[in-house]
Amino acid sequence: MGKPVVAIVGRPNVGKSTLFNRLVGARKAIVEDIPGVTRDRLYDISDWAGRDFIIIDTGGIRFDEGDIFTREIKLQAEIAIEEADVILFVVDTHDGMNTEDEQVANLLRKSKKPVVLAANKVENFDKQLEYYEFYNLGLGEPIPVSAMHGRNINELLDAVIERFAPASEYEEDGDAIKIAIVGRPNVGKSSLVNALLGEERVIVSDVPGTTRDAIDTPFEYEGNKYILIDTAGIRKKSRIKEATERYSVIRALKSVERADVVLTMLDASEGVIEQDQRIAGYVHEQGKANIIVVNKWDLIEKDGHTMNTFDKAIREDLKFLAYCPILYISALTKKRIFKVLELVDFVSGQHNRRIKTSELNQVISEAMLLNPLPGGGGKKVKIYYATQVQTAPPTFIFFANHPDKIHFSYMRHLDNVLRKNFGFEGTPIRLVLRKRDEKEER
């Protein structure tokens, strides 16, 4: 099932975004200085008491159907509610309860999802009268908070994680390679799923793994086992029109969290647009093995340079995915369909590759001899040694005397060195600097 999803909802100006920033802002993350990673602040990862979860911010819900922009925001919020495991309903104690709060509460009751009621902008936590009236919403006890000042957030998070399913329900079976197919609406995700599952050479399992409204589809090909994640969300027609689904990224998030390998699909007839960058950026940030799959290749007029031209344009728009192979397919005509699975096997192996410490340090030492570390303002900067501490994605710790003096561009150089010597095609790699004193080396 991957990580649970929490959607923050409420009418406008109650402090949803402030609460969102408060909940995700305290989380320590490795920030990569790589150009081209598009970050959409509508969602992020947070954690509390050992539980990780996806958190989604939504626009203020209004019920004036005459305004097309209002309708769109309401639609987006409904999609977030549909995808969420727990709803965090924010109300404003300064303004008090009003008709719009009651309308939102009615919407949430229909969803039948667990709801935590956050009474925001409380100044005096000893005066229950500030938020007492929100009991009338019929959604349980309101929890007083001040998102602006970070007060009582701990109690709020305790209430949220109490409503999650047990952690054991989110564990995954590791026998098969789990594949997520992500991309914006209409790039051909469903066509690829149907093409993969519709061939006679593919054995489709009759055991439907289910995660709430999603369906995992296990299958075998040439003796290898795979699971297509959340194919129900791809194949069934939702009551919500995909054409207006700005929150198509939410379903992608849930799939990516659970995947071993992600197929990031593009439409050859449209090229890379901002939504493609947003989804691809999330896959990269989550450290997943990734293949760029360009669909509808049959619609493109070609000459001897067409594929090279496309390669160049995609690399320019998705610079942060320079390590990913690009595969051109037609899900409609089934051209190169099963090349996808060959690449899945390959990048999965790269994603889980482990390098011996001796071999790693020999390569790093030679690289530093050929391209020495720049000086650190009078202090000689040294990297003593490196070691791989994790796979999926491959993660390396570099021990140095002054890690703060090592520029990110040099670490990018070492990234390139590792890829040149060991491959790692289709997988991000993580390089982490740690301090180690010279005395410890003696």
User: For 108-134, how does the pLDDT look when each residue is reduced to its tens digit (9 = 90+)?
Assistant: 999 999 999 999 999 888 777 778 899
Indicate the pTM of the whole model: 0.69
Asked whether residue 272 carries a pLDDT value surpassing 60, the answer given is: yes
User: For 21-56, how does the pLDDT look when each residue is reduced to its tens digit (9 = 90+)?
Assistant: 888 874 333 333 444 433 334 677 788 999 989 888
pLDDT value for 125: 81
Beta carbons of 258 and 252 less than 8 angstroms apart = no
Q: How many Å apart are CA 20 and CA 157, to the nearest integer?
A: 12
What's the rounded mean pLDDT across residues 250-258?
75
Segments in 199-318 forming alpha helices (H): 231-235, 248-258, 274-285, 306-317
Q: How many Å apart are CA 241 and CA 238, to the nearest integer?
A: 7
pLDDT value for 434: 95
Beta carbons of 231 and 194 less than 8 angstroms apart = no
Specify the higher pLDDT residue, 86 or 128. 86
Q: Tell me which of 12-21, 374-383, 406-415 is least confident.
A: 374-383
What's the rounded mean pLDDT across residues 313-327?
96
In our burial notation (b when 16+ CB lie closer than 10 A, e otherwise), range 329-355 reads bbbeebebbbebbebbebbbebbebeb
Q: How many Å apart are CA 392 and CA 290, to the nearest integer?
A: 11
Question: How far is residue 161 CA from its own chain's centroid?
Answer: 20
Helix axes 248-258, 274-285, angle to 10 degrees: 20
**All domains in the chain, ordered by first residue:** 5-168 (3.40.50.300), 173-351 (3.40.50.300), 357-441 (3.30.300.20)
Which of 8-22, 194-208, 237-251, 352-366 is most confident?
A: 352-366
pLDDT value for 45: 79
Name the pLDDT band for 226 (thresholds 50, 70, 90): very high
Q: Is the dihedral of CA 297, 302, 308, 309 positive or negative?
A: negative
pLDDT value for 206: 45
User: Of the candidates 334, 340, 330, which has an alpha carbon nearest to the alpha carbon of residue 300?
Assistant: 330
User: For 285-297, how does the pLDDT look when each residue is reduced to its tens digit (9 = 90+)?
Assistant: 889 999 999 999 9
For residue 61 the two structure tokens come to: 């819900």
Name the pLDDT band for 97 (thresholds 50, 70, 90): very high
Which of 21-35, 223-237, 418-432 is most confident?
A: 418-432
Q: How many Å apart are CA 292 and CA 266, to the nearest integer?
A: 7
User: For 175-211, how does the pLDDT look when each residue is reduced to its tens digit (9 = 90+)?
Assistant: 799 999 988 878 888 889 888 887 544 554 444 333 3
Name the pLDDT band for 439 (thresholds 50, 70, 90): low
Beta carbons of 310 and 272 less than 8 angstroms apart = no
